[in-house]
Amino acid sequence: MKLWGGRFQKSTDKLVEDFHSSISFDQRLYREDIKGSAAHARMLGKCGVISPEEAEQIIAGLEGVLSDIEMGKVSFEVGAEDIHMNVEKILTERIGSVGKKLHTGRSRNDQVALDIRMYLKEGIRQTQSLLIALEETLLELAGAHLDTWMPGYTHLQKAQPISLAHHFMAYFQMFLRDLERLEDCYKRTNVMPLGSGALAATTFPLDREMVRAELGFDSITLNSLDGVSDRDFAIEFCSAASMIMMHLSRLCEELILWSTGEFSFVNMDDAYSTGSSIMPQKKNPDVAELVRGKTGRVYGDLLGMLTVMKGLPLAYNKDMQEDKEGLFDAIDTVQKCLLVTRPMLKTMEVNKQNMALGAKGGFTNATDVADYLAKKGVPFREAHEIVGKLVLHCSINKVALEDLALAEYQALSPAFDGDLFSFITVEHCVKARKVPGGPAPEIVLEAIKLGRTALASFGTKE
């Protein structure tokens, strides 16, 4: 008989039972469910709702159930619907009728809200840990490539020369914002809903603060309707995970481009590449491509969660059972992608020579020619037009700006002088950009130091 079956005259249809059950996926919440139940039982005993002896019997029974689950000795039943009722059923079978007192003053509605929050808190910290590891790798790579020159792009067209270090630090900033978003999400997840009951709390004198402290929450929910029906924190995580995946996808897209023969900027390690079943010469960046592809999967998790919640009246509705698979998938996917991206980056080979050659092509120093004129007193808009004409001349004659003779420059402006050529080398173009946030090596080095300080603050989190 179902634990809720008192008012029913017929058994649940087998088809409905399979459709209704969530144990196939919510069983991963067993630790959180048992930990939350033990805290609830201890509080019931302290408040006199049940006797202290009954509370200890329940807690000991729960510890035994947890141990047996960990050892693989427990088989969950579809008929018991979910992890909450499976644990309670097993507990009652072991310790008798006292196990039936565990659910006093509690509903599955606030119980599942508690379990998901506890699970997500750990998921957030694990995700942050993986992000920090990736960030540390980006800092290491940036430090090793302060003088690795490469072309920077806009519209995927060569624009201005930068360093590979500066490029890596752009991704460092993206992932740093992701860490901050996760930290904000953690704050809103770290609120304890147990005690909300089904929707209207309970008549029993519960000590919610006692449970909050034992389970390590910062605060308790202040409205029982909201306590059981809120899934903002889960949606927020999926949103933050989608942002992480978007940043990973952008990074992987560049690695895919850079590893092509057309770029030849990097060579992916064999351990993070695959071959072709028909073309023996192929070395494909499949790991990067999969990360890029899995981004759409996490976007789907977010959109699915938003769509489930968009039309639900207060308070709990069975639709909300659909929150778990998307949330679990978002956690699993983003963590796997972070886990594999770090060694992929660490093991790739950078072709500094090809990057430097790329930085010289495409008139990446054209802006510096215009800046040169501006520093000589020529209005920048006039300088821009002069250099545009120079670039057109070079394009027609298939030469670079640095290949022109000084007389050719002076034919367009008398402001040009012999110091021009040292001003427009790739190295000077990068090193001269010393504005905070710029690509000059000493500026990037300072950004690396600031990055390490920022990461250290996250390392102190619980």
- The residues that are catalytic are 155, 276
| DSSP output for 148-160 | -EEEEEETTEEEE
Nearest to 25 by CA among 314, 396, 322: 322
Q: How far is CA 111 from the centre of its chain?
A: 27
**Site of tokens 């069983």:** 27
**Other residues' Cβ atoms within 10 Å of the Cβ of residue 208:** 17
Kindly state the DSSP code that residue 284 receives in the 8-state scheme.
B
CA 76 distance to own-chain centroid: 32
The separation between the first and the last C-alpha atoms of the chain, rounded to the nearest angstrom, is 43
> Under 8 Å CB-to-CB from 296, ≥6 apart: which residues?
none
Rounded to an integer, what distance in angstroms lies between the CA atom of residue 390 and that of residue 384? 10
User: Are the C-beta atoms of residues 323 and 305 closer than 8 Å to each other?
Assistant: yes
Angle between helices 83-95 and 30-47 (to 10 degrees): 60
Please give the Cα distance from 240 to 53 (Å, whole number). Answer: 45
**Displacement of CA 57 from its chain's centroid (Å):** 41
Q: Contact 419/426 with Cβ under 8 angstroms?
A: no
Residues in the chain: 462
